[in-house]
């Protein structure tokens, strides 16, 4: 029974978080609170600061201004507790290529304190669901991009985390796997997991997320449910239209023409 006087800490909380790389501001005072069990879509154009936000939240970047907590734990002062409770599917898939799939998952499992038998059992079932079980003893170097993405998912879910950070999770996946991941996200949300979902694929965000935050040049320019975003926008309709309006990028046709013109330059 929830105690109304002591509400549970939010799953994710960012307070005035700013981050610069070599003097270039990437995040400019982000404020965001994500309650437990919510699936939040975090969208924005390239370079808006989505991956930087995720790296701060998963404890990969500790030098930033402001406050960030995950599962009630400060990511700077209690990074281990944060890491114990989260799963992370990064945007870039770097692996130790000569490890096998099984060795990689054992490594991840042991670092999360799982017994080898449990890791192997879970990994086998999850890999089977991803049609990856026959590759259990293959070196990671032999996997395709989509298979690596599935391996990242398996590694991120292996310890049954409370909060899942997905950074472009559908990258490289085939249609069947994309559908599988969408269903998986819905299922995890139904099981009470919090999911922080970064993506450029807006129709998927529109369908699977309870709430959407739009990031532009390091600032959150809109935050709400899909219906709220559409209601508050002038261009209405789809999330793509709302996104283009919010990110001041309605001149795509003109810019495409400029690109085509540039191709012809000098040819005459």
Burial of 258 (0-12, 13-18, 19+ CB in 10 A): exposed
Going by C-beta distance under 8 Å and a sequence separation of 6 or more, which residues neighbour residue 131? none
Which lies closer to another protein via its Cβ, residue 119 or residue 246?
Answer: 119
5, 7, 137, 262: which one contacts another protein (CB under 8 A)?
A: 137
1, 22, 117, 191: which one contacts another protein (CB under 8 A)?
A: 22
Query: Using CA atoms, how far apart are residues 41 and 260, in angstroms rounded to an integer?
Result: 33
Can residue 145 be called a binding residue for another protein (CB under 8 A)? no
CB of 146 to another protein, least distance (A): 16
Q: Count Cα atoms within 13 angstroms, Cβ side, for 238.
A: 9
Which lies closer to another protein via its Cβ, residue 41 or residue 87?
Answer: 87
Handedness of CA 20, 14, 208, 250 (dihedral sign): negative
CB of 170 to another protein, least distance (A): 19
The answer to whether residues 50 and 37 touch, using CB atoms and an 8 Å cutoff, is: no
16, 77, 128, 141: which one contacts another protein (CB under 8 A)?
A: 141
Neighbours of 83 (CB within 10 A): 20
Q: At 158, is the secondary structure helix, strand, or coil?
A: coil
The answer to whether residues 86 and 164 touch, using CB atoms and an 8 Å cutoff, is: yes
What's the token pair of residue 242? 């709302």
User: What size, in residues, is the chain?
Assistant: 268
Can residue 46 be called a binding residue for another protein (CB under 8 A)? no
Can residue 65 be called a binding residue for another protein (CB under 8 A)? no
Which lies closer to another protein via its Cβ, residue 142 or residue 225?
Answer: 142
Residues 81-110 that bind another protein (CB under 8 A): 81-84, 86, 88, 90, 92, 94-100, 102-103, 106-108, 110
Which lies closer to another protein via its Cβ, residue 120 or residue 241?
Answer: 120
The answer to whether residues 70 and 57 touch, using CB atoms and an 8 Å cutoff, is: yes
DSSP class of residue 10 equals P
Query: Using CA atoms, how far apart are residues 150 and 205, in angstroms rounded to an integer?
Result: 19
Q: Which stretch binds another protein (CB under 8 A): 58-66, 166-174, 233-241, 258-266?
A: 58-66
CB of 93 to another protein, least distance (A): 9
Q: Which stretch binds another protein (CB under 8 A): 137-145, 169-177, 214-222, 238-246?
A: 137-145
Which lies closer to another protein via its Cβ, residue 78 or residue 186?
Answer: 78
Q: Which stretch binds another protein (CB under 8 A): 75-83, 169-177, 181-189, 199-207?
A: 75-83
The answer to whether residues 205 and 212 touch, using CB atoms and an 8 Å cutoff, is: yes
Residues making contact with another protein (CB under 8 A)? 21-22, 58-61, 63, 80-84, 86, 88, 90, 92, 94-100, 102-103, 106-108, 110-113, 115, 137-139, 141-142
């Amino acid at each position: 029974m929830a105690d109304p006087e002591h509400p549970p800490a939010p799953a994710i909380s960012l307070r005035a978080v700013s981050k610069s790389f070599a003097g270039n501001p990437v995040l400019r005072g982000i404020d965001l609170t994500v309650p437990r069990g919510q699936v939040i879509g975090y969208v924005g154009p390239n370079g808006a600061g989505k991956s930087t936000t995720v790296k701060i939240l998963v404890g990969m970047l500790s030098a930033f201004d402001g406050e960030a907590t995950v599962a009630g734990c400060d990511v700077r002062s209690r990074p281990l507790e944060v890491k114990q409770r989260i799963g992370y599917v990064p945007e870039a898939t770097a692996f130790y290529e000569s490890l096998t799939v099984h060795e990689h998952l054992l490594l991840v499992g042991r670092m999360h304190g799982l017994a080898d038998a449990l890791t192997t059992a879970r990994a086998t079932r999850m890999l089977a669901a991803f049609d990856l079980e026959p590759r259990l003893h293959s070196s990671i170097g032999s996997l395709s991009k989509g298979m690596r993405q599935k391996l990242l998912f398996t590694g991120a879910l292996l310890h049954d985390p409370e909060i899942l950070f997905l950074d472009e999770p559908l990258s490289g996946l085939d249609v069947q796997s994309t559908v599988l991941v969408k269903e998986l996200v819905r299922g995890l949300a139904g099981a009470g997991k919090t999911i922080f979902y970064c993506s450029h694929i807006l129709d998927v965000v529109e369908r699977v997320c309870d709430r959407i935050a739009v990031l532009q040049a390091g600032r959150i320019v809109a935050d709400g449910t899909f219906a709220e975003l559409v209601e508050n926008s002038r261009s209405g309709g789809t999330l793509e239209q709302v996104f283009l309006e919010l990110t001041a990028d309605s001149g795509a046709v003109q810019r495409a023409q400029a690109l085509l013109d540039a191709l012809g330059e000098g040819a005459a």
